[in-house]
């Protein structure tokens, strides 16, 4: 079976950005996998610490148990998303224990997010996890720069953020980071923002973000590894598709499908209806937004 590292590397070579769909609530797992299979596509099913702390994913163990009920390795792999060293509420997290548990449970790739630390401390924490994961053959994703949106309170006006380049990943730092940290994939900040997770903002429509594509090209050239786009929901489609040709090999999607699930549940109180809403939205994203229907064969060859 082709491993996740090789699949994402192949996606980079083909100019494809593989979607990674966040399981914010356990019943979302089945319709996500069904949608990927029905579109003859490929995706990662992922869960982040926020998903089990602030939503209904419960735990990494609960998510992988649900995943195993429906998994089909021809179409999906499971990934541990954002495990921060310091979270959006400025709480220190026992990141090593969480990631070690996920690897022992069978997660096929993991993410350490030390982006709120200094460059040197980010490198150190990422190196620690890369060394831990390498023993099990598990690829490691890291983040450099500041992909904003998870913090409490409103963001400054988006265009102000974009024009200023606030938080953008710096090419010179990225080169050093990849060389010294041992990460396999790098999440970059190029105008993308996370969906809000606070109670007052989690149901709000995301700002339409756009991407600094020339900046992305520099990062892709200088790092030489697959790059990751977090905050995939709400990005302008032409920028999203262009980013895949410039080094983005994995795109995280959370808000779009979480809101579809939650809004259907709120409207009817029926989990099956919420699952169907998740299925339809995931299918539409794969087919109409990412244009990835039917790519599985070329990706897995």
Active site residues: 81
- Residue for token digits 């992922």? 46
Residue 211 has which token pair? 């991407």
State residue 124 phi and psi, 5-degree precision: -60, -50
Is the C-alpha dihedral spanning 131, 252, 12, 105 positive or negative? Answer: positive
CA distances from 170 to 32, 90, 176, 198, 267 (A): 34, 23, 10, 28, 44
Q: Which pairs count as long-range contacts for 278-282, CB under 8 Å and 24+ apart, including other chains?
A: 278/28, 278/31, 278/32, 278/35, 279/31, 279/32, 279/34, 279/35, 280/35, 281/256, 281/257, 282/21, 282/31, 282/32, 282/35, 282/36, 282/257
Residue 129 has which token pair? 């996890």
Q: What is the largest CA-CA distance in the chain?
A: 51
Strand positions, DSSP E, 98-137: 109-113
Cβ atoms of 50 and 56 closer than 8 Å: no
- The pairing of strands 109-113 and 76-84 is parallel
């Amino acid at each position: 079976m082709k491993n996740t590292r090789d699949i994402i590397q192949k996606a980079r070579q083909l100019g494809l950005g593989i979607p990674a769909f966040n399981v914010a609530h356990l019943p979302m797992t089945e319709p996500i996998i069904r949608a990927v299979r029905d579109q003859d596509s490929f995706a990662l099913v992922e869960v982040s610490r926020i998903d089990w702390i602030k939503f209904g994913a419960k735990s990494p163990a609960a998510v992988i148990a649900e995943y195993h009920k429906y998994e089909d390795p021809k179409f999906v792999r499971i990934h541990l998303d954002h495990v921060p060293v310091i979270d959006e509420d400025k709480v220190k997290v026992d990141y090593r224990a969480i990631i070690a548990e996920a690897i022992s449970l069978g997660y096929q790739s993991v993410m350490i997010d030390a982006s709120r630390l200094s460059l040197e401390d980010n490198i150190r924490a990422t190196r620690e996890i890369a060394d831990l994961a390498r023993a099990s053959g598990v690829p490691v994703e890291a983040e450099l720069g500041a992909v904003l949106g998870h913090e409490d309170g409103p963001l400054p006006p988006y265009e102000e953020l974009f024009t200023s380049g606030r938080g953008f990943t710096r090419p010179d730092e990225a080169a050093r980071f990849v060389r010294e940290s041992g990460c396999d994939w790098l999440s970059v900040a190029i105008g993308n923002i996370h969906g809000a997770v606070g109670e007052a903002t989690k149901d709000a429509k995301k700002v339409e973000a756009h991407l600094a594509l020339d900046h992305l090209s520099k990062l892709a050239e200088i790092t030489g590894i697959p790059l990751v786009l977090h905050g995939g929901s709400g990005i302008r489609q032409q920028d999203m598709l262009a980013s895949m040709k410039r080094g983005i090999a994995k795109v995280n999607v959370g808000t779009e499908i979480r809101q579809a699930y939650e809004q259907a549940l709120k409207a009817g109180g029926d989990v099956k209806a919420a699952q169907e809403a998740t299925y339809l939205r995931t299918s539409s994203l794969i087919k109409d937004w990412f244009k990835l229907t039917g790519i599985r064969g070329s990706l897995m060859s």
